[in-house]
A and B are shown apart, each in its own frame.
Chain A
Amino acid sequence: MRGRALACAVLAAALVYCLFPLLWLLAAATKSPSELYGTAPFGLTPHAGERLAGNLRALFSRDGGVFARWLLNTLVYAGGGAALGTLLAALAGHALAWYRFPGRGLVSVLILGGVMVPPAVLAVPVFLLMSEAGLTNTMWAVLLPSLVSPVAVHLMRLFSAASVPGSLLEAARLDGLGEAAIFARVVFRLLAPGLTTVFLFQLVAVWNNFLLPLIVLSDQDLYPVTLGLVAWQGNAVRDAALTTLVITGSLVAVLPLIAAFLLLQRYWRADLAAGGVKD
C-alpha cells in the first residue's frame, strides 16, 4: 500500500509539473498588465471575466486585426501542410511497401538518409534557392517545404506493410480495379489510424517550425501565429500592453492544437511512433 501511495504521489507531482504552466497561462490571460505583477499567479481577480474579454478585444484589434490573419495563416501552413504532406507520404509509403521495382532500394536509402537530415540545416539553403526562384515572402515558401517529411513516408510504409493484407490487393486486382483505384478505395481506409498519427506528427512539426518562416517571410501579414507573437514580444520592452497580448495570444494559439489532440487521441497510434525506426 505504501508503494501505491508513493507511485500516485510521483505521478501527481509530474502531472502538476506538466500542467501548471498552462493553468498559469489561463489565469494570466484574465489580468491587466499591472495585475500580472504582484497578484497571486494562479488566482483570479474579481473582474477576471471582464479583463479576459478586454484582452481578447485588444488582441484581435491590435495592428488592424493582424492576429486573426496569423491564426488563419497557421491553419493554412500547419493544417494544409500536414494534410497534403500526409497524403504524399501515404502514396509513397504504399509504393515502397507493396511494389517491387528497380530503384526501390535506392529510394528507401535516400528516404532513410533524409530522416537523419535535420530540417534546421535545410532551412537556410531552402531560403537561398527560394530567393533565386523569387518565392521568398510568399505562402508557398513555408507551405512547399512543409509537405516533405521522410519520417512520415517511413512510418506510412511500416504501417501499410502491417495493416494492409496482401491478399486483399490481389483480390482487388482480379476484380479489375486499377492500381490508383485500389489505393483510393481499398487501401486508404485501412490506413486511417496511421494517417491520423502521421497527420498529428506533421501538424506539430509544422506548427513548431520557427526557423523556416522566420527566414523566408518578411511581410507580417504572412506570419504564422508563433512568429507574430515573437515579433510582439520583441516590442514589449517599449510597449507594456503587448506583454498581455502575447500572453492572451499564446492561450488562443495553444487551444486549437490541444483540441485537435483531444479529438484525435482515440485514433492516435503511439505504437507507430515507438516502432518507427526500430524496424
Chain B
Amino acid sequence: MRAQLAETAAEAVAGVEDGATVMISGFGIPGQPFDLIDALLDSGARDLTVISNNAGGGDGGIARMIHQRRVRRVVCSFPRQTDSWHFDAAYRAGEVELELTPQGNLAERIRAAGAGIGAFYTPTGYGTRLAEGKETRVIDGVDHVLEFPLAADVALVSAHRGDHAGNLVYRKTARNFGPIMAAAASTTIVEVDRIVETGQIDPETVVTPGIYVDTLVEVRRS
C-alpha cells in the first residue's frame, strides 16, 4: 500500500474532471487545502459540485472557485458569513445552487458514505424546514429524520504530515472534516506540510490510515 507522491499540486489534481463532485476539507481557513484548490482552478476544472462546511470566505480557496464560477452546486452547513461575499453574489445571481444541511448531519452523511452505511436516522433537524419531505420515524419516543450518505468523486484534504504509505496526522482543529472526507471519496488527494518516510509516523498516532489516501503532495505553507 503506497500513496502516489505528486511533485506538484497541479500533478496531484490532474485527473479531476469537469462536473466532478469534490469534497474539500476545512472549517474556515484551518484545514482548507488552498494549494490543491488553486491547482484545480489552474487546471480549468468547471461545473463542480463542492461539499464542504463553508462556501468560502475572503478571496482565496473555495471563495475563489465560486468567484470564477467553477462551482455549479454547493452542499454545506454554513455558507453565509461576514466575508462570504463571493458566495453571496453568486447565490443572489442564481449562479450557484445550495443544499443546506446541519453541520452534524453533513459530517455524519460523509462518514456514512465512507463506512458503507445506507442511510441513518438522526434527531437533528426534525420538525424544521431542512427536514421537509424527508422520511421520519419515532424511535424510543424520539422523532428522527432519515438522512442519506454523501459521497464524492474526489476529496481534497489538508493534513500536517503524511508518510509514503499515505498515513496522515493532522494538527489541532485543522483536522475537522479531513478524516471523514478522505474515506468518502473515490479518489483522495492530500496536501501536507511534509511527506516523511514510512515508519516515521508512530502508528499509534495515525489518524487517517493510508488505505484512504491516493495521492500526496508536499506544500510549503508560509
Q: Do A and B come from one complex?
A: no
Residues of B at under 8 Å CB distance from A? none
